[in-house]
Every structure is written in structure tokens, then in C-alpha cells.
Amino acid sequence: MKALRLVAPNEPLIIEEVPAPQPGADEVLVQVAGCGVCHTDIGFWKDGVPTKKELPLTLGHEISGTVIAAGAEYEQMVGREVIIPAVIPCGECVLCKEGRGNVCRAQMMPGNDIDGGFAEQIVVPGRGLCTIEDRGDYELWELSVVADAVTTPYQAVVRSGLRAGDLAIVIGVGGIGTYSVQVAAALGARVIAIDVDAAKLAAVADHGAGFVINSAETDFKSLKKQVRGQAKEWGCASHSWKIFECSGHPGGQMTAFGLLTFASTLMVVGFTLAKTEVRLSNLMAFDATLQGTWGCKPELYPEALKLVTEGKITLKPFIRSFPMSQGPDVLQQVADHQIDERAILIPDWEA
């Protein structure tokens, strides 16, 4: 079969023939319907982020598809439509048993620990798969982004303790920030979106954000005043804000930390290799919480998927399909910020 491969950092991605994978006893073979292009893929390719599996490697971890074969332990899965978790925990270690399977040290991440979904087919462990009982108004390929772009912010919102009526502030509303806004709104929060891109702000204003601020057009003091004013207008508390840093940019991180107030919670969702200098004592003074969140444990996938299929979260305005045969060019365009939507690669080679 054909697959889109990373052979070395900063070298052109290539399409090559690779052996068709075969599932072991506890594995399944999935015919890929679609695989989303995440900035993590760009990080492995362009930014020097090391992969766990030695190169060459098939990238891609936002995968939906159909189980077409399975080992003895998962034969009942054949024919089922599934979303493959972006992080597949072992299910047996102490972290898994403590409900922290998303950081299982024996986890498998397609496109990192094992070959990923930029291919016709993929073999993955049968455990933890999210079966799709009802696609709603979506094609199977469209649901691929649930595997990361939707579930990662969903876990962040759930772990923040957000309740209906809370003020949620999302910094960085492209990619996962788009869905952070929608998840928070779907769970009953009043949402303020902050970004430097007017087009991205306009998009989320139609999908969950009740108030938007372009941080490129204001200083931080004025920005914070706007946030406080809007919270008061909505009748939200002046404390206990839930802040979601999704930009993965030092400027966004500084803004997020600066918005901390009494009993507030800051969830770090975006990633950057850059360093940021903050005064940690603010956490003590505000009795605030700063928490990272990695991926999403498989147990939460059905809840996140349900929000999509019931129409409480929308994907269609924020995704765009491309033939997988154009994968090298598409990933270059994503890296160059020439594609605003979440690109999804669809296998178009003959099996």
C-alpha cells in the first residue's frame, strides 16, 4: 500500500510503497477514511520535535475509518466505523488505573510511536477505539478531527471543572481553539475569544463566542478591562474564570497568565518549544490553578463525539478535504499557514 512518509526532519515528505500491515491477536486493521493534519505533524517534520519511533515514519494521528480485519481478541469489531484515539493507553498501568491514561507511559500515538494514518490502512491496538454508532450529518472522513482537534480541548474543558454560567476565556482560536470555544459554549459557559487574527475571531463569533477581542489591536491593560466589563455585563463572577491557552505562542501564554484572578483555572492546551517568564507567585496570591492537559483519554471520546453528532459542535466550516496523493504539498501549505481550515487527507490510491 502507499503511505505519506517522513524520512528525515526538514526533508521533503515522500509517498512510497510500504508493506500492507497485518493485525496481531490484540490489534485491528482499519481502512482509513480520513486523517487530519495537525500542527504536531508539522512539529515532527519541521520543528525538530523527535518522534518515538525511528524514521522513516508514516505521520498522522487524527484518524477515522472502518475496521476491515482483526486479531482473535477483537473479531467483533470487523465492519465497525471507528475513531482511533490520538493517544492509545495500555489500560493496565498505575496511571491508567488512576484515570490518567492519556499520559500512560506505555501509550501508543499513531504517527509517533507507531506508523500513522497518512496511509490507506493502519494497524492499531483494538483497545480504546471509539465506535461510531451514529454519524449524524457527517461523512466518516469528516469525523477524523474528533480524534484530536475536538477531544483534546474537550478533556481540557472537563478537567477545568467548568460549569454552566462560568466565564470561559479562550486564547488562540484557530485549530483546537476553535473547538475549545464550541465545547465551552456547548457546556453552558459564556465565552470570550482572544486572537490576533480577525478572520478567526469572526468565525468563532458565529460558533460559540459571545465576545471577541483582537489582542493585536489593544494593549493588555485595555484587554483585561474589556474582559472584566464583559463578565460583569453577562452577570458572570469576577472570580473563578476558566482560561484556555490554545495558541501555543509565548504572547498568548503571557496573556493567559495575566488574566488569572481569584480561584481561576488556567489550562495549557497549546504547545511551543519557546520559553515564557511569569511570576508563579500569582498562583499563590490568587489561589489559582495552572494545569497542563495532554491529549484525551479514550473514555471521554464518546461524550465529545456525541456533541458533534447532535450538532452542539460543528465541524464543517472548519475542515477541508484533500487527496492524500497531494499530501506533501498540503503539509507544506499547512506549515506555511496557507490553509485556514483543518486539512483532512483522504486516501485516493487504488488499494
CATH architecture of 2-148+296-346: Alpha-Beta Complex (3.90)
pLDDT at 350: 62
311, amino acid identity? G
Q: In this model, does residue 12 exceed pLDDT 60?
A: yes
Averaged over 225-251, what is the pLDDT? Answer: 97
pLDDT at 47: 85
Domain with CATH 3.90.180.10 in the chain: 2-148+296-346
Q: Cβ(219)–Cβ(198) under 8 Å?
A: no
77 confidence band (pLDDT: 50, 70, 90):
very high
User: Residue 188 — φ and ψ, nearest 5°?
Assistant: 100, 5
Averaged over 105-128, what is the pLDDT? Answer: 96
pLDDT at 35: 98
Q: Cβ(255)–Cβ(215) under 8 Å?
A: yes
Domain with CATH 3.40.50.720 in the chain: 153-292
- Lowest-pLDDT range, 99-103, 233-237, 319-323? 99-103
Q: In this model, does residue 351 exceed pLDDT 60?
A: no
Q: Cell digits for 47?
A: 520543528
> Could you report the per-residue pLDDT of 79-98, keeping only the tens digit for each?
999 999 999 999 999 999 99
The pTM assigned to this predicted structure is 0.94
Distance CA 96, CA 116 (A): 23
CATH architecture of 153-292: 3-Layer(aba) Sandwich (3.40)
Q: Cβ(66)–Cβ(140) under 8 Å?
A: yes
- The percentage of residues in the chain with a pLDDT greater than 90, rounded to a whole number, is 95
273 confidence band (pLDDT: 50, 70, 90):
confident
Coil, strand or helix at 84? strand
Averaged over 219-234, what is the pLDDT? Answer: 97
Distance CA 232, CA 219 (A): 20
Averaged over 151-174, what is the pLDDT? Answer: 97
Q: Cβ(141)–Cβ(83) under 8 Å?
A: no
3, amino acid identity? A
Distance CA 295, CA 88 (A): 10
Q: How many residues does the chain have?
A: 351
Angle of helix 198-205 relative to helix 176-186, nearest 10 degrees, comes to: 30
Q: In this model, does residue 320 exceed pLDDT 90?
A: yes
User: Residue 5 — φ and ψ, nearest 5°?
Assistant: -120, 140
pLDDT at 175: 87
* Beta strand 289-292 pairing with 2-6: unpaired
Put residue 305 in one of left, alpha, beta given phi > 0 → left and psi -120 to 50 → alpha.
alpha
284, amino acid identity? M
CA 202 from centre of chain: 21
Q: Cβ(111)–Cβ(45) under 8 Å?
A: no
Q: In whole angstroms, how far apart are CA 316 and each of 71, 96, 116, 142, 300? A: 34, 33, 24, 8, 22
Q: What is the mean pLDDT of the chain?
A: 95
Q: Cβ(160)–Cβ(331) under 8 Å?
A: no
